[in-house]
Amino acid sequence: MNLNWVMPAEGMESSMRARVVGIIAAIGMLALVTGCGGSATTSATPSTPTSGGTVRLLTHDSFVISESLLADFTQQTGMTIEVITAGDAGTMVAGAVLAAGAPTADVLFGVDNTLVSRAIDAGVFAPYTAPQLGDVLPELSADTADGTVTPIDYGDVCINIDDAELAARGITAPTTLDDLITPEYRDLLVVEDPGTSSPGLAFLLSTIARYGDGWQDYWAALANNGVQVAASWTDAYMGDFSGGGGGDRPLVVSYATSPPAEIVYAADPKPTSPSTSVMTDGCYRQVEYAGVLAGAVNPEAAKAVVDWLLSAPVQADVPLSMFVFPARTGTPLPQVFTDFAATVEQPLQLPATDVAAGLTGWLSDWGTVMGR
């Protein structure tokens, strides 16, 4: 892999999500106020924003969208989208909770399936069902509170493989999570700390989803098999992973979209195929949502932004802007995605309510098992 894509890849990690820094603080803050919120009802009334003025979009600092699409929204509605970034996703949601009912913006994008149930219960969102919600992939609709929030994109965190390095060592690529704790793969895997890294957290959740009460035993087995823990995706992929830099570990926790990113961000002349592949067993699915903020000054315009984020042109822009998959069915993918992004048929996922309730304890238990 060409190291010229180091900086874009760092952005890819945060856009795939900057979810962890501040996430524990966010959960604690959410817990203080969840009793104040009730169950939301929904409305399918199409949005009719007043022409002219500004609609404020609150998002994490990894939000990327083509400028031409922002200009198109203004041309179609007369409204200008003011993008307000609020740090990583955990910090953003914590701030939205503190401001629930009197927000500093009109619409929020970027709350994911780690925090969405707590945010809904805390009264962050006003009820609004996007008219195009029926166009969303059905499997992404589990945590929307009957349409209160709208899925916009998703991504899968998976084990990535340096195929050439494994072949040079005469080792067959692993195909399951169970393989990773066998002697054949001793000292070959690097993972990220789930307390400081989004993919690291997703991998922890994947093992909890797969092994249930036995997840701590699985991590003890990983530790005994020489797993290495890095602080961040960049440290793991660009430092320890043999397929991303000068490391000696041919297995790493990364994304189903890392192989196409390897092509897109490579220096010219670009390779015709990536040097890495993806193990599709044990992948954890992350979903991002948008919703109208309760108490928004411009709620009709906020509804229009939710609809716009789910519109065909924006959804088609999502893959190469944020290296995630669009939530809308039938959205064409760029060829580099269709050629090289892994298709995960059976991703692992935990209910958002379970994650919100268990995350603090899980991270503590993980630290104990790993001696950190």
Same domain? 35 vs 118: yes
Q: Is residue 370 situated within a structural domain?
A: no
Contact 82, 15 (CB under 8 A): no
Buried b vs exposed e over 71-93: b needs ≥16 C-beta within 10 Å? Answer: eebeeebebebeeeebebbbbbb
Same domain? 143 vs 27: yes
Interatomic CA distance for residues 39 and 42, integer angstroms? 10
Same domain? 326 vs 257: no
Residue pLDDT, tens place only, 319-369:
999 999 999 999 999 999 999 999 999 999 999 889 988 999 999 999 999
Same domain? 166 vs 150: no
Interatomic CA distance for residues 156 and 137, integer angstroms? 15
pLDDT at 28: 52
Same domain? 57 vs 196: no
CATH of the domain at 143: 3.40.190.10
3-class SS letters over 290-356: EEEECCCCCHHHHHHHHHHHCCHHHHHHHHHHHCCEECECCCCCCHHHHHHCCCCCCCECCCHHHHH
Same domain? 207 vs 58: no
Residue pLDDT, tens place only, 130-173:
999 999 999 998 888 888 999 999 999 999 999 999 999 999 99
C-alpha torsion angle, residues 213, 214, 219, 223 (rounded to 10): 140
Tokens of 26: 């966010």
Q: Is residue 2 situated within a structural domain?
A: no
Q: Is residue 130 situated within a structural domain?
A: yes
Q: Is residue 369 situated within a structural domain?
A: no
Nearest in space to 290 (alpha carbons), one of 185, 192, 152:
152
The amino acid sitting at 351 is P
Same domain? 95 vs 244: no
Overall domain count for the chain: 2
Q: Is residue 372 situated within a structural domain?
A: no
Burial bucket for residue 229 (CB in 10 Å: 0-12, 13-18, 19+): buried
pLDDT at 52: 64
Same domain? 15 vs 143: yes
Same domain? 296 vs 273: no
Ranges of the chain with pLDDT below 70: 1-52
Same domain? 123 vs 202: no
Interatomic CA distance for residues 243 and 277, integer angstroms? 10
- Whether the bond between 332 and the residue before it is cis, its omega within 30 degrees of 0, is no
Q: Is residue 298 situated within a structural domain?
A: yes
pLDDT at 138: 93
Residue 119 vs residues 89, 234, 294: alpha-carbon distances, Å: 12, 29, 11
Tokens of 51: 């022409």
Same domain? 196 vs 48: no
> Which residues span the domain enclosing 107?
10-154+286-332
The amino acid sitting at 287 is V
Q: Is residue 5 situated within a structural domain?
A: no
Interatomic CA distance for residues 149 and 145, integer angstroms? 7
Region of residue 109 (left: phi > 0; alpha: psi -120 to 50; beta: else): beta
Interatomic CA distance for residues 94 and 295, integer angstroms? 17
Rounded to the nearest angstrom, the gap between the alpha carbon of residue 110 and the centroid of all alpha carbons in its chain is 9
Same domain? 224 vs 357: yes
Q: Is residue 119 situated within a structural domain?
A: yes
